[in-house]
Structure 1
Amino acid sequence: MTDYDVLTDAGALRDAAQALAEGTGPVAVDVERASGYRYSQRAYLVQMYRRDAGVFLFDPPAIGDFAPLQDVLADQEWVLHAASQDLPSLRELELVPRTIFDTELAARLLGHEHVGLGAVVEEILGITLAKAHSASDWSTRPLPQSWLEYAALDVLHLIDVRDALDAELVQQQKIGFAQEEFAAELTRLPKPAREDPWRRLSGLHTLHGRRAFAVARELWQAREEFAQQQDVSPGRLVPDRALVAAVRADPRSKGELAGVHEFTGRASRSQLDRWWAAIERGRAAADLPLERLGGGGLPPVRAWRDRNAAADERIKAARPVVEAHAQALQMPAENLLTPELLRRVAWQPPEPATAEAIGDALADLGARRWQIAETAQLIADAFVASVQVAEDAPADAS
């Protein structure tokens, strides 16, 4: 087993940056967080590998300023696996690549059956990666040597995988598809925050009454604020099921709340005043939330027949055509065209619904050029066919 050191100071970072600058080819990058343990999604370890330079492991909380690394690597291609997971944490460190190669996304576009890092490395290189520490608490210090070896292996083979996938993309004439997807991944904006994030509370559907929902909202918010202060995952403080149990129990005092058997977690008793205050706020709230919200998006497709019969015919005609084309291209249908985009253009197509107009509508919704080129004409033809089906339906029924 190779022993790896974690770099923790500015001097070591500068030396590593110089070594990486003198390396050759793309830079493999990975990030380890402490999801499920910490509130934040900050990076607790950053791994980099470059040919002729080697593997480097960096401790972000200890180092702080990564500017020397950004200065020498920004113009190089960064290779990541499932880049959308790591880019936000890297941006927090002001480590921002200008170009990337995402090995997971490339594997999807190529139609690989399994696209996890371990599966891709094993399929392409015949090397088995242990995943024993993928869900570990990477805020732990010092990090065990076995964890460091695991982290190093996540980048050590990534360049070889990248080269193999790149050749496969060229062979399948999908390199243009991939380049557009990689560029889109780099510029994709984060999803806007939910208006009522407390509604994500697991088990909320078991509660009844707007007052109970108000109490659940206040408990969720109190837990969220405390979790952020402590930088601890909210569910480790008090699990969702415990909050919901407290609401259902409807305790008349702090003592009764403390006696709720299901009200568990590391902070359920030590922060009893906090939770009781939240319950009282919920009981006194004037702005009682609705139990059920009307959907802001499209209705489920199963309801289209009654609510928009023409759209129902369009989606039934277009979806199998898009799926068949994805199969011909040997990629998942959702990578060829996001199902939500197809639903939206089927629900309210442009007039007239030509391939060009549908392409413009898809572009406005965020589809890439290659996706439009592969699907717009198919969708337009399917919509025309759906009109014929609708016109023939009465004659068939008689």
Structure 2
Amino acid sequence: MTNTLYLNDLPDTLDLGPVIAIDCETMGLHPHRDRLCLVQLSSGDGNAHLVQIMKGQTEAPNLCRLLADPQVLKLFHFGRFDIAAMLNAFGVLTAPVYCTKIASRLIRTYTDRHGLAKLLQELLSVDISKQQQSSDWGAPKLTKAQIDYAASDVLHLHKLRDALNVMLLREGRMEMAQACYDFLPMRAKLDLDGWPDTDIFAHA
């Protein structure tokens, strides 16, 4: 397993294939206030590619082309936040997407625990550490522990998607899940544009 860190953008020649796992690290949980610091990606081959985003950076052409490429499926866990963070930073709306948290909420109705660590433990027997989750991602130089933690959030999403799809197919909820994934980029845009906590479908 290799974790490769790049500054500002992905290299021109990198090809990660048609299905890519993506996650983000930010300075906090409010995209308008807390800047994007790191974007990590994996093709599912056991390697991670991490892009460190500098303060004030508004462009990452290679990364943005990938995010908007209709031929590349982007896998997330809680994609709603990551899509919004990258839209706020770069002005690009990520699509098409798949979200393992949405899949989990639709199919694992026997539990209210849908965090990535719990999912990986239950479905793949993989344990990951969340110790670095609240560290300073805006630091000029990231530690090895931070890089390893960030990589762990994308290395297993391909297999997790496969396991969740088995359950979705078994219970007849794949079509419902796909409709939710299709709406997810707009849900992230609604968050940024002022409707983060409003149920726009509610009668009241």
Structure 1 and Structure 2 fold alike (TM over 0.5): yes
SS of the residue corresponding to residue 118 of structure 2 reads: helix
Counterpart of 1:7 in structure 2 is 6
Structure with the larger helix share: 1
Name the count of aligned residue pairs.
193
Amino acid at match of 1:68: N
Q: Which runs of 4+ in 1 moved over 4 A?
A: 36-39, 191-194
Match of 1:33 among 23, 26, 30: 26
TM-score, normalization by structure 1 = 0.44
1:44 correspondence with 2:37: yes
Counterpart of 1:148 in structure 2 is 147
Higher relative contact order (CA 8 A, sep 6+): 2
The verdict on how the C-alpha distance between 1:54 and 1:104 changes in structure 2, with shifts beyond 3 A counting, is: same
Tell me if structure 2 keeps the 8 A contact 1:67–1:94: no
Match of 2:80 among 54, 79, 84: 84
Structure of greater Rg = 1
Residues 268-347 of structure 1: matches in 2 within 5 Å?
Answer: 341=202, 344=203
| Superposition deviation, residue 184 in structure 1 | 1.6
Amino acid at match of 1:88: A
The verdict on how the C-alpha distance between 1:37 and 1:141 changes in structure 2, with shifts beyond 3 A counting, is: farther
Once the two structures are aligned, what percentage of the paired residues are identical?
A: 23
Residues 1-398 of structure 1: matches in 2 within 5 Å?
Answer: 4-9=3-8, 13-15=10-12, 18-19=13-14, 21=15, 23-35=16-28, 40-52=33-45, 54-61=47-54, 64-72=58-66, 74-75=69-70, 76-91=72-87, 92-110=89-107, 111=109, 113=111, 114-188=113-187, 189-190=190-191, 193=194, 341=202, 344=203
Alignment deviations for residues 103-162 of structure 1 (CA, whole Å, 9 cap, x no partner) = 001000002522001001111110111010111121112111011100000000011101
| Superposition deviation, residue 25 in structure 1 | 4.0
CA distance in 1, matches of 2:130, 2:90: 26
CA distance in 2, matches of 1:125, 1:112: 18
| Superposition deviation, residue 52 in structure 1 | 4.8
TM-score, normalization by structure 2 = 0.82
The verdict on how the C-alpha distance between 1:39 and 1:181 changes in structure 2, with shifts beyond 3 A counting, is: closer
Gaps of 5+ in 2: none
The verdict on how the C-alpha distance between 1:53 and 1:64 changes in structure 2, with shifts beyond 3 A counting, is: farther
Structure with the larger strand share: 2
Gaps of 5+ in 1: 195-296, 298-337, 346-398
Amino acid at match of 1:66: A
